[in-house]
């Protein structure tokens, strides 16, 4: 295995981790399987495309082609994607959580509503912007580094570092902040958390905004490698869901390990000449199904068992 | 003389009742080959007039017959494009009914339904096109393929929890799509198998007679799916599963009384997979081709939307939802992408407001009305024990109603008599001759029921120390002490009991 392959695997794993951890946190704390995570992804990508398109001439006029200008563009792109993702989270909160969180069949109904949101927003994007792919400005620039004889593209390195930073920030927030403590309490035992005075309604909003922002971040980072299109969210959604499942829904470390495993698996399967890129999805799903049949609660279940 | 207007109360007057004379014998025709009756008639009597009445307890068969026969009657007069919409509706409704069997009856949250349909369709179509099997045999190959595929899929469902399994089956659909598009033999057609032979003759294809024939086939398919649904649900398998339906406790209970519900679930899954295989073969024949489109997530979500809009887990919901969504999706095709948005919006609105889809609205509204009327009844503080009309219809013994009403009016009248002077009169002379008002009040108190009646207890036989107690009204249950006050004179104790009773009367 050479270094390029590892970097590629880490790149995939970083994106998957952003999606899967969001889905996992949301499921275990609030109890929503968020099927509109893919829609959040696509909408944030489009919002970033619109905002950067509007800001680009302005920045170019004021700063020219300096380092400051490109930093500013990168900041705008990431910020717009993050903010749009968080706003999508607010919409999900208003539609799929607030009206029904104390009604019967909450989990299935929330799943259905988020599914409806997903369909509606994908079709809405298709209707407004058409099926064409849109390229976002490359915030990490074009180019490669030479590390021990292998070339690493800037966008790959940037994605890995960016995802790691965001994941670190999220985990730190969960670990050290008051709100994070509440979220973790809800993840462990929602009922017990409610008894000790943690309001579900109040805590769900930041969780939904956070997971939305994670999807937005994933969109901003993935758009460095591929284009943005209305249906761009489907594959990340399916991958994110299955990886969250592989990690044992609700376990953050499980989701992280699962994302890395799947990233490496895909990179390796893609690199084997006989199989090639066409069988990547196939192999991933087979792997996940095999793991789930052997360990029905995924990697997280494995971790819990060893802890006990 | 003015006419008194009576308001209709209760739901009796709204229900349709036959009034048999009792002369001719009741027709008790049974379904041939079974012990079931065609309709669920029940003989009752009018509690007031004691006349015979006959009511139809389960009116669903009537609605089904009306709806389906309307479909058959109307379709031949529709334009060509609408006929194909109706046929597609029938196919989707059949798939949904079978899916309902898996989700509702078996309680397995599977999203691989279209994958089964597609896989069986592909196998049947390949057998026809590449092996030259004539088309009637496709209807045998399809269910066989569905059976095998379903059995493979069903295996992990006992090990995995609900949502895990749902996501896993979604993955299976994706695998099927990728697998079919990667097949070398099908690359030039984009993964599709075309030129499938069909029950519709080739020169009739997309002509009016062909469309009508296609509709006839699709309608029979829907009827078959409904038959499978009915057979599974009303026979032993469905009854076993109804025990273990809703919760973990029910599952434990079912296990405890010796029902192997896991096996029953698998059986239902496999049966409906085989039926879905028939649908798959029919699908390939109806369109004369089958493409990887059938495995796509969009198609799956559209079908899921149908079930959700109609009501998850009900056959009528599956059909109604299919009607709504197909009409929007295929009937309003000139609208473009907004029509899917419309479907999604309907789905969201229905899910937010309706507990169990469109077909559950009636029940939900009844619950709501019941709750509201209960709240209103509780709000009426003037009620004072008298039965309100809604409640009165539920009480069988009408004597009870009049007794309650009499008591209430009596209490109202006595409450007006209570005054400080009256209490003072009793305090001065608890036993002697009383005024008319006090005598009436005391008479009412004497007639009170034994339960919670106040008595005076002499605490030590030789001493003049008394306290007030209340008898339990039940044999063997000792009286309870009302308060800790002690009275040294019996007259004081008499008055204390009187005050307690007056207090109770005023509070009632």
Percent of the residues in chain B that have a pLDDT greater than 70, as a whole number = 95
DSSP secondary structure, B274-337, as one string: HHHHHHHHHHHHHHS-B-GGGGSHHHHHHHHHHHHHH-TT-HHHHHHHHHHHHIIIIITGGG-T
Q: For the ranges A87-96, A142-151, B99-108, which has the lowest average pLDDT?
A: A142-151
Q: What is the pLDDT of residues B188-219, one digit of tens each?
A: 777 788 878 787 777 777 788 888 999 999 99
Find out whether B284 and B193 touch, Cβ atoms under 8 Å: yes
Q: For the ranges A302-306, B93-97, B211-215, which has the lowest average pLDDT?
A: A302-306
pLDDT for A90 equals 93
* B167 to A281: CB separation less than 8 angstroms, yes or no: no
Sketch the domain layout of chain A as residue ranges.
3-307
A153 forms bridges with which residues in the sheet? Answer: A144
Q: How far is A243 from chain B (nearest CA, A)?
A: 10
Closest CA to A207 of A300, A116, A90: A90
* B351 to A234: CB separation less than 8 angstroms, yes or no: no
Q: Is the pLDDT of residue A109 over 50?
A: yes
Provide the phi-psi class of B190: left if phi over 0, else alpha when psi is between -120 and 50, else beta: left
Work out the average pLDDT over A166-171: 88
Backbone φ and ψ for A34, nearest 5 degrees, come out as: -90, 95
- Those residues whose C-beta lies under 8 Å from the C-beta of residue B79, and which sit 6 or more positions away, are none
Buried b (16+ CB within 10 A) or exposed e, A134-149: bebbbbbeeeeeeeee
Q: How far is A236 from chain B (nearest CA, A)?
A: 13
Work out the average pLDDT over B149-166: 80
- Angle of helix A200-222 relative to helix A37-63, nearest 10 degrees, comes to 60
Q: Is the pLDDT of residue B479 over 80?
A: yes
CB atoms within 10 A of CB A58: 11
What residues in A contact B164, CB-CB < 8 Å?
Answer: 245, 249, 292, 296
The CATH topology of domain A3-307 is ABC transporter involved in vitamin B12 uptake, BtuC (1.10.3470)
Q: Is the pLDDT of residue B65 over 90?
A: yes
Report helix, strand or coil for B421: helix
Ordered alpha helix ranges (H), B359-419:
361-379, 389-392, 398-417
DSSP secondary structure, B59-124, as one string: -HHHHHHHHHHHHHHHGGGS-HHHHHHHHHHHHHHHHHHHHHIIIIIS------HHHHHHHHHHHH
pLDDT for B383 equals 57
Report helix, strand or coil for B459: coil
pLDDT for B246 equals 66
Q: What is the mean pLDDT of chain A?
A: 82
Q: Which of B352, B353, B367 to mutate to test the interface with A (most CBs of A within 10 A)?
A: B352
What residues in B contact A115, CB-CB < 8 Å?
Answer: 301, 304-305, 347
Q: How far is B394 from chain A (nearest CA, A)?
A: 28
What residues in A contact B163, CB-CB < 8 Å?
Answer: 33, 107, 111, 249
What residues in B contact A100, CB-CB < 8 Å?
Answer: 351-352
pLDDT for A307 equals 46
pLDDT for B215 equals 92
Residue of A nearest to B357 (CA): A109
Q: Is the pLDDT of residue A143 over 70?
A: no
Question: Which span out of A199-203, B271-275, B483-487 was modeled with the highest average pLDDT?
Answer: B271-275
* A112 to B351: CB separation less than 8 angstroms, yes or no: yes
Can you tell me the distance from the alpha carbon of B173 to that of A63, in angstroms, rounded to the nearest whole number?
Answer: 51
Strands B466-470, B480-481: pairing is antiparallel
pLDDT for B390 equals 67
Q: What is the pLDDT of residues B417-468, one digit of tens each?
A: 999 999 999 999 998 889 999 999 999 999 888 888 899 999 888 888 999 9
Q: What is the mean pLDDT of chain B?
A: 85
Q: What is the pLDDT of residues A194-222, one digit of tens each?
A: 888 888 888 889 999 998 998 888 888 88
Closest CA to B448 of B409, B495, B505: B505
Can you tell me the distance from the alpha carbon of A130 to that of A151, in angstroms, rounded to the nearest whole number?
Answer: 36
What residues in B contact A293, CB-CB < 8 Å?
Answer: 156, 159-160
| Residue A170 to residues A16, A86, A193, B177, Cα–Cα distance (Å) | 15, 14, 21, 36
Q: Is the pLDDT of residue A1 over 60?
A: no
Sketch the domain layout of chain B as residue ranges.
1-58, 78-295, 297-376, 410-507
Q: Is the pLDDT of residue A30 over 90?
A: no
Q: For the ranges B30-44, B77-91, B344-358, B378-392, which has the lowest average pLDDT?
A: B378-392
Computed from CA positions of residues A100, A101, A106, A108, in that sequence, does the dihedral angle turn out positive or negative?
Answer: positive
Q: Is the pLDDT of residue A308 over 60?
A: no
Residue of A nearest to B302 (CA): A119
Residue A289 contacts B, CB cutoff 8 Å:
yes
B419 or B26, which is more confident?
A: B419
Can you tell me the distance from the alpha carbon of A1 to that of A300, in angstroms, rounded to the nearest whole number?
Answer: 28
Strands A150-153, B454-458: pairing is unpaired
Can you tell me the distance from the alpha carbon of B325 to that of B307, in angstroms, rounded to the nearest whole number?
Answer: 10
Residue A278 contacts B, CB cutoff 8 Å:
yes
Q: What is the pLDDT of residues B355-406, one digit of tens each?
A: 888 888 988 998 898 888 777 766 654 555 677 776 777 778 888 888 888 8
Work out the average pLDDT over B260-274: 90
B365 or B508, which is more confident?
A: B365
Can you tell me the distance from the alpha carbon of B383 to that of B389, in angstroms, rounded to the nearest whole number?
Answer: 11
- Those residues whose C-beta lies under 8 Å from the C-beta of residue B72, and which sit 6 or more positions away, are B219
pLDDT for B243 equals 83
Residue A286 contacts B, CB cutoff 8 Å:
yes
- Interface size A-B, in CB pairs within 8 Å, comes to 107
DSSP secondary structure, chain A, as one string: --HHHHHHHHHHHHHHHHHHHHHHHHHHHT----TTHHHHHHHHHHHHHHHHHHHHHHHHHHH-SSHHHHHHHHHHHHHHHHHHHHHHHHHHIIIIITTTTTSTTHHHHHHHHHHHHHHHHHHHHHHHH-S--BPPP-TT-S-EEEETTEEEEHHHHHHHHHHHHHHHHHHHHHHHSHHHHHHHHHHH-HHHHHHTT--HHHHHHHHHHHHHHHHHHHHHHHTTTS-B-GGGGHHHHHHHHHHHHHT-TT-HHHHHHHHHHHHHHHHHHHHSTTT-GGGHHHHHHHHHHHHHHHSTTHHHHHHHHHH-
Percent of the residues in chain A that have a pLDDT greater than 90, as a whole number = 5
pLDDT for B121 equals 92
Q: Is the pLDDT of residue B494 over 90?
A: yes
């Amino acid at each position: 295995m050479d270094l390029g392959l590892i970097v590629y695997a880490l790149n995939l794993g970083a994106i998957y981790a952003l999606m899967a951890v969001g889905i996992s946190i949301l499921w275990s704390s609030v109890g929503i399987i968020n099927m509109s995570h893919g829609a959040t992804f696509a909408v944030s990508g489009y919002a970033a495309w619109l905002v950067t398109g509007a800001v680009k001439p302005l920045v170019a006029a004021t700063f020219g082609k300096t380092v400051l200008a490109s930093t500013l563009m990168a900041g705008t792109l990431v910020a717009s994607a993050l903010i749009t993702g968080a706003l999508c989270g607010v919409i999900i909160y208003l539609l799929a959580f607030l009206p029904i969180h104390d009604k019967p069949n909450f989990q299935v109904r929330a799943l259905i509503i988020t599914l409806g949101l997903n369909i509606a927003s994908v079709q809405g994007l298709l209707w407004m912007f058409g099926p064409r792919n849109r390229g976002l400005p490359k915030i990490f620039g074009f180019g490669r580094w030479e590390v021990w004889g292998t070339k690493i593209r800037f966008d790959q390195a940037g994605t890995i570092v960016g995802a790691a930073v965001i994941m670190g920030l999220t985990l730190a927030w969960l670990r050290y902040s008051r709100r994070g403590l509440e979220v973790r309490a809800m993840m462990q035992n929602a009922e017990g958390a409610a008894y000790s005075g943690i309001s579900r309604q109040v805590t769900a909003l930041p969780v939904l905004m956070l997971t939305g922002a994670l999807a937005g971040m994933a969109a901003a980072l993935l758009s460095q490698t591929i284009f943005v299109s209305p249906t761009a969210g489907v594959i990340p959604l399916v991958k994110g869901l299955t990886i969250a499942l592989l990690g044992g829904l609700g376990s953050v470390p499980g989701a992280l390990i699962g994302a890395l495993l799947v990233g490496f698996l895909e990179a390796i399967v893609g690199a084997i000449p006989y199989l090639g890129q066409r069988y990547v999805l196939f192999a991933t799903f087979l792997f996940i199904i095999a793991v789930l049949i052997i360990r029905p609660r995924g990697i997280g279940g494995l971790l819990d068992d060893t802890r006990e | 003389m003015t006419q008194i207007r009576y308001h209709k109360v209760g739901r009796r007057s709204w229900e349709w009742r036959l009034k048999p004379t009792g002369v001719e014998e009741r027709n008790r025709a049974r379904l041939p080959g079974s012990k079931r009756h065609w309709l669920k008639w029940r003989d009752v009597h009018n509690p007031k007039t004691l006349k015979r009445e006959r009511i139809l307890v389960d009116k669903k068969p009537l609605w089904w017959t009306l709806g389906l026969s309307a479909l058959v009657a109307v379709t031949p007069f529709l334009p060509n494009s609408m006929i194909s919409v109706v046929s597609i509706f029938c196919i989707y409704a059949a798939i949904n009914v079978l899916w309902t069997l898996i989700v509702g009856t078996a309680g397995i949250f599977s999203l691989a339904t279209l994958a089964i349909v597609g896989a069986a369709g592909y196998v049947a179509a390949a057998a026809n096109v590449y092996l030259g099997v004539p088309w009637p045999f496709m209807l045998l190959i399809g269910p066989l393929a569905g059976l095998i595929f379903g059995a493979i899929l069903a295996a992990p469902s006992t090990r995995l929890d609900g949502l895990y399994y749902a996501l896993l089956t979604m993955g299976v659909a994706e695998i099927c799509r990728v697998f079919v598009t990667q097949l070398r033999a099908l690359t030039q057609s984009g993964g599709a198998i075309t030129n499938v032979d069909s029950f519709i003759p080739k020169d009739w294809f997309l002509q009016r007679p062909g469309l009508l024939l296609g509709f006839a086939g699709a309608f029979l398919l829907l009827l078959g799916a409904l038959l499978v649904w009915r057979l599974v649900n009303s026979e032993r398998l469905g009854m076993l599963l109804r025990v273990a339906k809703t919760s973990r406790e029910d599952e434990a209970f079912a296990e405890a009384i010796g029902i192997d519900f896991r096996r029953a679930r698998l059986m239902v899954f496999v049966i409906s997979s085989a039926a879905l295989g028939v649908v798959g073969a029919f699908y390939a024949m109806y369109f004369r081709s089958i493409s990887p489109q059938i495995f796509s997530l969009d198609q799956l979500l559209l079908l899921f939307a149908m079930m959700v809009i109609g009501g998850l887990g009900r056959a009528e919901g599956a059909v109604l939802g299919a009607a709504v969504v197909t009409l929007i999706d295929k009937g309003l095709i000139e609208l473009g992408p907004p029509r899917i948005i419309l479907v999604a919006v309907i789905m969201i609105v229905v899910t937010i407001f309706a507990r169990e889809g469109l077909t559950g609205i009636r029940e939900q509204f009844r619950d709501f009305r019941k709750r509201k009327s209960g709240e209103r009844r509780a709000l009426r503080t003037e009620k004072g024990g008298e039965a309100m009309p809604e409640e009165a219809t539920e009480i069988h013994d009408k004597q009870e109603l009049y007794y309650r009403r009499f008591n209430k009016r009596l209490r109202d009248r006595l409450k007006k008599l209570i005054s400080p002077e009256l209490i003072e009169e009793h305090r001065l002379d608890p036993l002697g001759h009383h005024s008319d008002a006090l005598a009436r009040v005391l008479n009412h108190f004497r007639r009170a029921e034994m339960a919670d009646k106040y008595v005076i207890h002499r605490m030590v036989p030789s001493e003049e120390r008394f306290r007030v107690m209340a008898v339990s009204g039940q044999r063997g249950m000792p009286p309870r002490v009302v308060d800790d006050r002690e009275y040294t004179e019996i007259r004081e104790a008499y008055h204390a009991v009187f005050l307690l009773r007056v207090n109770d009367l005023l509070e009632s």
